[in-house]
Amino acid sequence: MKSYDFYISAPLFNEMELKFNRELAGFLEKRGFTTYLPQRDGGEDEMLLKDPDLWPETSKRVFNRDVDALKSSSALIMVMDGRVPDEGACVELGMAYAFGKICIGFQTDNRRFASGQNNLMLDYCMSYDIVHDWNGLEVLLGKLKEKINR
């Protein structure tokens, strides 16, 4: 399995989300980082998930491939936008945390959990303060260049 600098964990259920995810991958790649973007790098299996007859076999293959990519990545960046973060991204964050990966939250949406905070289980999995804009992400990436295994 190929290794990556960043595993991009994000919702991918509508065109707006897919576009944002591609922009994030491009932003990271223009700064010299390699990325695993499930919607792009998941292969044809993602399309097969639309066929109910293939669901059990295909879904397990997608799951295993994404877990392998997460294991072979140095860091995870989680898109936390939305009323609540995507449940699949939350699981990926938990795995990355348990695997000892660098975990970064990217939340450009200002909706938050109670009292203006995110759920503490998300916040405390993060290796750094959650980043809220592209400039903040740029600054953090500069600090991480030396820490990301290449």
Q: 26-65 pLDDT, tens per residue? A: 999 999 999 999 999 876 656 556 677 776 777 888 889 9
Is pLDDT larger for residue 23 or for residue 150?
23
Strand partners, 54: none
pLDDT of residue 94 exceeding 90: yes
Q: Which residues lie below 8 Å from residue 139, measured CB to CB, with a gap of 6+? A: none
* Torsion angles phi and psi, residue 77, rounded to 5: -115, 125
Kindly state the average pLDDT of the residues 68-84: 94
Taking the C-alpha atoms of residue 29 and residue 33, their distance in angstroms, rounded to an integer, is 5
The model's pTM = 0.89
Sign of the C-alpha dihedral, residues 123, 86, 83, 79?
positive
Chain centroid offset of residue 132 CA: 15
Greater confidence (141 vs 150) lies with 141
Backbone angles phi, psi at 111, to 5 degrees: -75, 135
pLDDT at 72 over 80: yes
Please report which confidence band the pLDDT of residue 83 belongs to, taking 50, 70 and 90 as the band edges.
Answer: confident
Is 118 in a helix, a strand, or coil? coil
Percent of the chain with pLDDT strictly greater than 90 = 63
Q: 29, 35 in Cβ contact below 8 A? A: yes
Confidence of residue 120 (pLDDT cuts 50, 70, 90): confident
Question: What three-state secondary structure class fits 57?
Answer: helix
Mean pLDDT of the chain: 88
| Contact status, residue 56 vs residue 69, Cβ threshold 8 Å | no
Find where tokens 């990966």 sit. 101
Range 4-144 has CATH code 3.40.50.450: yes
Q: Give mean pLDDT, residues 84-110.
A: 94
| Cα–Cα distance, 141 to 104 (Å, whole number) | 10
